[in-house]
A and B are shown apart, each in its own frame.
Chain A
């Protein structure tokens, strides 16, 4: 033991030949600096992209709103969107966007959270091994496929249930329902992460007091995971509001202000996709109106984000 130790090389503290000042001096480490710079750049790119998009949106929207043919007040209060006749009231599009998103969230939130509760609290390892990859496959299906699923399966189904006179071929209900199914994996996966992050000790505390599994899950685990669940909700809503392909295919191409989900009504994204696909001259009112719509969309998601962040901070139950 002592022999092994004594054979190890050591610096003799008494060695006069060592230049301690030089040895302790800070050395240049170029790799460290370069890597740090690269990492910063990667982070900065997302910020720069956001800023760039905002700049373009703001710039073109400004051109739209300052156009003499456009009345800003009418844009935010008007109930007709007919660019051909110079009607630029945003409400029909916003209404359809909110309606399809609301339908989607009514489907996605319970399904997603219940699936997450099952996965995190109840599922046996084998059930989990089957269910999780299946959910991931669902998440990987292109939205254009979902769009046709809505148009060729859900819409006929709705029409056979509620009658062909009630349900139009293009309608918000079908698009919303399928959009909800599309969002389920997202909600489920984020909610499961939130539930799994609740410390095991908290569950044990509840069980140790004679709580049943349901009581523990609903009254201890869910409240403790609330901030994560709200985050899942926000991401889900943002996804629904921004989803384009499904609504473009299944929700219809008529902009009309209706609260009947069985009627066709074009959403903001659906409209942008349709118009930008046609002939569009640069700088025209049709062209700049799309940027104003995109900005509106951005403001909606940003607003949702801010509100829910405030909600989370207010009601969060911290457990650490």
Chain B
């Protein structure tokens, strides 16, 4: 464990895991900026080490996919970024998550404020049993929004590509919508709190292919303004939507902790990965 390295130092020195954030061969991208970074994260459930030493710098306004076989800690890692693991009584996090240079796990950091900056969309659509309008208005009011609520609801629904489908039934329950619409409502709700980063935990796994395509298209729109981290067990989806891909896998030291084995531009991960295990996984040889 390094003693509180700065974010910059982490990126430069920890070259075994993190490649320098310069342009990658084959992709034309402007110099990138880091939105949020994990720094030697270890996560324990009781005595069990679920995540072992993960460091990754997530680029702003890009889509970063976390892939890997089942049970390798993808969701656990994702939930570290907005302190959702706080709700697991036995969970303990070591290391740092840095947002604007602040460690989100430092004592005195308010997890509620963290989750307002880092919003989350879940695997199963979970609209509140309230009207479509109130699903969004409630989230916005929580965060102290006192402006024109009608306008915010419309903007959020438009941004989530749902407005045209629901504009005539805003008073209906959010649960009256189809699964794909519900998931877009959850995205709209997340947008309404104006986060910087949106975490998505297998957001399409409960949806049919058409709804999935809509969400994926929406993600491309959203990345103009937001940083997105998506966990997916669908490799085609990772290849389709993401700019960067983090490959996680269980360690082979007998402890079976999840760890990051490769993190690179998505086309590199899928066409010429450096790690043999990544190559086997993305080519479908196991997992």
The interface of chain A, by Cβ under 8 A from chain B, is 124-125, 199, 201-212, 215, 219-220, 223-224, 317-319
Chain B residues whose C-beta falls within 8 Å of the C-beta of A204 in the assembled complex: 84, 87, 120, 122, 126
Assembled-state Cα–Cα distance A201/B130 (Å):
15
**B138 and A208 form a contact (CB under 8 A):** no
Which 7 residue pairs are nearest across A and B when measured between Cβ atoms? A317-B129, A210-B116, A208-B120, A205-B126, A201-B126, A210-B115, A209-B139
Which of these binds chain A: B185-193, B255-263, B268-276?
A: B185-193
Assembled-state Cα–Cα distance A125/B122 (Å):
26
**A208 and B129 form a contact (CB under 8 A):** no
Chain B: interface residue count, which band?
Answer: 20 to 34
Q: Contacts A208-B115, A209-B139, A215-B142 hold; do A199 and B189 have CB atoms under 8 A apart?
A: no
**B112 and A211 form a contact (CB under 8 A):** yes
Assembled-state Cα–Cα distance A319/B193 (Å):
23
**A201 and B89 form a contact (CB under 8 A):** no
Give the number of residue pairs across the A-B interface with Cβ within 8 Å: 70
Main secondary structure of the interface of B (DSSP, over half): mixed
Q: How far is the CB of B188 from chain A (nearest CB, A)?
A: 11
**A220 and B128 form a contact (CB under 8 A):** yes
Assembled-state Cα–Cα distance A215/B143 (Å):
11
The chain A residue sitting closest to B190, CB to CB, is A209
**A201 and B142 form a contact (CB under 8 A):** no
Q: Kindly identify which residue among B115, B130, B190 contacts A317, using a CB–CB cutoff of 8 Å.
A: B130
Q: Kindly identify which residue among B113, B122, B139 contacts A201, using a CB–CB cutoff of 8 Å.
A: B122
Q: Kindly identify which residue among B87, B89, B127, B128 contacts A125, using a CB–CB cutoff of 8 Å.
A: B89
Chain A residues whose C-beta falls within 8 Å of the C-beta of B82 in the assembled complex: 208
User: Which residues from 190 to 225 on chain B have a C-beta closer than 8 Å to any C-beta of chain A?
Assistant: 190, 193, 199
B173 contacts A by Cβ under 8 Å: yes
Among A199, A204, A205, A219, the one with the most B-chain Cβ atoms within 10 Å of its Cβ is A205
CB 8 Å contact bits of B129-167 with A (1 = contact, 0 = none): 110000000110011000000000000000000000000
Assembled-state Cα–Cα distance A86/B84 (Å):
71
